[in-house]
Amino acid sequence: MADTTAASEPDPGAPDPAGGPVPVADAGPGPGPTTLLQTLRRLGSGPRGLTEAQAEERQARFGANTLPTHRHASWPRVLLRSLRDPFTAVLLCLGLVSAAVASWGTACVILLLVAVSCALRASGEHRAGRSMAALRGLVATTATVLRRTGEDLPPDTREIPVDELVPGDVIRLGPGDLVPADVRLLRAQGLTVHQAALTGESAPVAKDAADAAGGAGSGLFDRPQLCFQGSSVASGSATAVVVATGARSRFAAAHARSDVRPEASAFDRSVHGVSWILIRFMLLTPPLVLMANAALRDRGLETLPFAVAVAVGLTPEMLPVIVTMCLARGASLLARSHGVIVKRLPALHDLGAVDVLCLDKTGTLTEDRPVLHRALGPDGRDDPEVLRWAALNAWWTLQLADLPAPDALDDAVLDAADEDDVMAYDGVAALPFDPLRRLATAVVRTPGRLGTHTLVVKGAAEAVLERCVLEDDERGELLALAARHADDGLRVLAVATADLPHSRLRSSGGTPIARTREYTAADERGLDFRGFVTFKDALAPTAAAALKVLADRGVTVRILTGDHPGTAVRACRDLGIAVPQDGVLTADGIDSLTDAELAAAAARTVVLARCTPEHKARFAAALRAGGHTVGYLGDGVNDLPALRAADVGIAPRDAVAVARESADVVLADKDLTAIDHSIAAGRYSGGNIATYLRITLSSNLGNVIAMLAAGLLLPFLPMLPAQVLAQNLCFDAAQLAFAHDRPHPSVLRRPTLLRPRDLLRFIIGFGVLNAVADLATFGVLELALRGPEGLDDQAVFHSGWFTENLLTQALVMVLLRVGRLAAGRGPGPIGWAAGALAAVGLLLPVSPLGSLLGLTPLPFLYYLLLAAVLALYTLGLMAVRRAPWLYSCAM
């Protein structure tokens, strides 16, 4: 048997010379199955389980049956990671340069802003980490195991903690149990398992202990004799032997793959683009200032502090703080109001930028249960009698076969049936559903028909029809009818009956003899076909309304499912999602496409069916390659690759632990409404960030242009470094209001994505307009202050331009914020901050603090002329704002 080890199931041990198991390198099932006897031999176990001594020895060798722990970064590590943010790195460089030229005030302010930004981001991620730690406790804790106290003693059944399971343990599984490790079935009775967390298949999968190999091309999870950690028992019972625990389980392998570093998200790409714009401007500005002053004014290095101050004035030094505050506030509101945990703050911005949302249909578009669609007679028309017979089968199978709960399809039948019709019959016997027979049978006593029992058989169409008395042509037509309904996304069960005599007369005296033989599967023959019952997935109650809201917000939905394509298309049709003729792609289709071809196909695909985890990840990557910002909602191990491939991974709190750890956002429930709230919060935060960038960069660019012009026209510096710093501090303090602003609802209509090229076009357009206003102010100063107090007076010029700068920036804050002011709304945080900024611009020059900064009071005529300039400036802003090619480009 030496050559079969590599092709074995996930046996963590093989017998060593001493008789105990030794570990193998294989972390999961191999490509080829072995027999049950071979598996038990390699595990050094048997149907009676392990002894306590064997279990203790294996526990010491293999360790606890737990997943690798998720290590969270320490506070210092999170702070250092925050410094890698490009915005923060730009500010840090400016602070160091300011310190190098002895501009200590500017350096201290910038470094303080860097520290505040890093602290805010680290605290937000730390809070999210604590919330995630609370969710990790929501897992199964015990398992039912057979253990022996001695080698020759009988086994005892006991409950032990899951982490004490070891390879070779024999466990028992029942309905509702979570499979605590990778196991190989020893015995099974009617066992079906939910393994959607592993494969995405919503329907329970039948499992059997027989030594059957998977079909050609079948995957690991298709092997009927294997069950895996992360799945749960839907029905039936089983005894199984543990073959892999802890780090050797399939779950652990998926956990290890989830640690792969993801690609840059939409936020990261936008940040890098905007950062390079700032870096180019900052590298260009100081040399221009130095060269211009040296060439025209014969000034040397004494203008270096002013040149650095100009570069600082161009930079939005509050950007890291504003971005972090906007995202942290949005994440905090989501957590308090909707129970949504944003683990990584930039992911909230990515949510606002999402324009394609990929998800599975089960639990989001549909509930994890079927509902009755129609009951059809043999002619394909509605027939209530078929529903009555199906309900009799479901009810008496449940009652007489000692099942703990009805099957999901039986439950749907009973919900739709008339209870009085069912209770009019007496149950006699039942043969429960068997994965091999693929049908269930109930025997009932029909009222008014003494001496006769009626067999009611319900199950797969092929299994039932082959037991019916039908001509071959008729059977073929009925199978074709069932296939058409299945292709239409419906589940189909066939119903048939047979009347059997309960007693017969004695040949001699005519006394009836009661039937003594029990009913068996051999009685399921010679049936009369009654019809079909069809089922569809129950729609999630909030799905239709949430889909409409998402569509109104420019988010398209893509369905990625392991189910049959017809089932997914049916759900889409019921919810009003249009699926074009070429809008369905299957695993076979995606395998034949190149990456470029898949990117083109993904743009028109609505449903990706029968897909594997790798297909989901490749599809998400293709959408990103096509220029989309992709969100992916997943809750199982099979969703891990796609969660990492998307711009933002989303998981519900009841997802498997490894999926929660890999996701960027964790929802309270697997509900599209929660995603809608999250996208709205992301767009509000992203809208405020975009508004801040538009206003700050355009104002700063205008000021820099004006400073360069003034430096060439004036015999003195147009503004002292201390005045530049004071102006920036005032503007920065006012801009904190952006983190608390609630933009106009129009911001929700489309994704909020920072596009660097479009942003550059915007700030140049409005920056030039702002520079024109500054140059006009120079003219006002010349006109209003002729003589010795004119442009030759440094203090007067500095004061006039300082006031105009703050007033124009206050106007820009109000007029260029996202959306229009809603009727009846108050000024809001932006309005109050702009008012305060304008008050500082008017009052600071006449205050004692103004004299310390080199400012002086201005004549009344200046204010009158400045009002006219500001009025024209306002008209210009309003006119340019109406140009959609310019205003709409910032997002």
User: Which residues carry out catalysis?
Assistant: 360
Cβ-contact 587, 612 below 8 angstroms: yes
Cβ-contact 646, 628 below 8 angstroms: no
Label residue 677 exposed, middle or buried (CB < 10 Å: 0-12, 13-18, 19+). buried
CA dihedral 593, 617, 260, 13 (to 10 degrees): -90
Give the position of tokens 């319900």: 458
Q: Cα(70)–Cα(129) distance, rounded to whole angstroms?
A: 11
Q: Cα(838)–Cα(564) distance, rounded to whole angstroms?
A: 64
Cβ-contact 719, 798 below 8 angstroms: yes
284 by DSSP, 3-state: which? helix
Q: Cα(133)–Cα(659) distance, rounded to whole angstroms?
A: 14
Percent helix, strand, coil in the chain, to 5, is 50, 15, 30
459 by DSSP, 3-state: which? strand
Give the position of tokens 């009799």: 392
- Report the length, in residues, of the chain: 891
> Residue 157 CB: number of other CB atoms within 10 A?
12
CA 502 to chain centre: 59
Tokens of 165: 């399971």
| CA-based nearest residue to 535, from 465, 488, 582 | 488
Cβ-contact 243, 39 below 8 angstroms: yes
Q: Cα(415)–Cα(413) distance, rounded to whole angstroms?
A: 5
Pairing of strands 512-514, 528-539: unpaired
Cβ-contact 757, 270 below 8 angstroms: no
CA distances from 54 to 169, 180, 286, 673, 764 (A): 10, 19, 76, 51, 76
500 by DSSP, 3-state: which? strand
Tokens of 297: 């004014």
Contacts of 252 (CB under 8 A, 6+ apart): 27, 67, 68, 246
Cβ-contact 495, 533 below 8 angstroms: yes
Helix (H) or strand (E) holding 723: helix 721-735
Cβ-contact 658, 135 below 8 angstroms: no
Helix (H) or strand (E) holding 441: strand 439-445
Give the 3-state secondary structure of 339-377: CCEECCCHHHHHHHHCCEEEECCECCCEEEEEEEEEEEC
CA distances from 548 to 60, 352, 573, 577, 676 (A): 56, 17, 14, 9, 10
Q: Where are the beta strands (DSSP E) in 195-231?
A: 205-206, 226-227
Label residue 724 exposed, middle or buried (CB < 10 Å: 0-12, 13-18, 19+). buried
Cβ-contact 106, 721 below 8 angstroms: yes
Contacts of 273 (CB under 8 A, 6+ apart): 754, 755, 756, 757
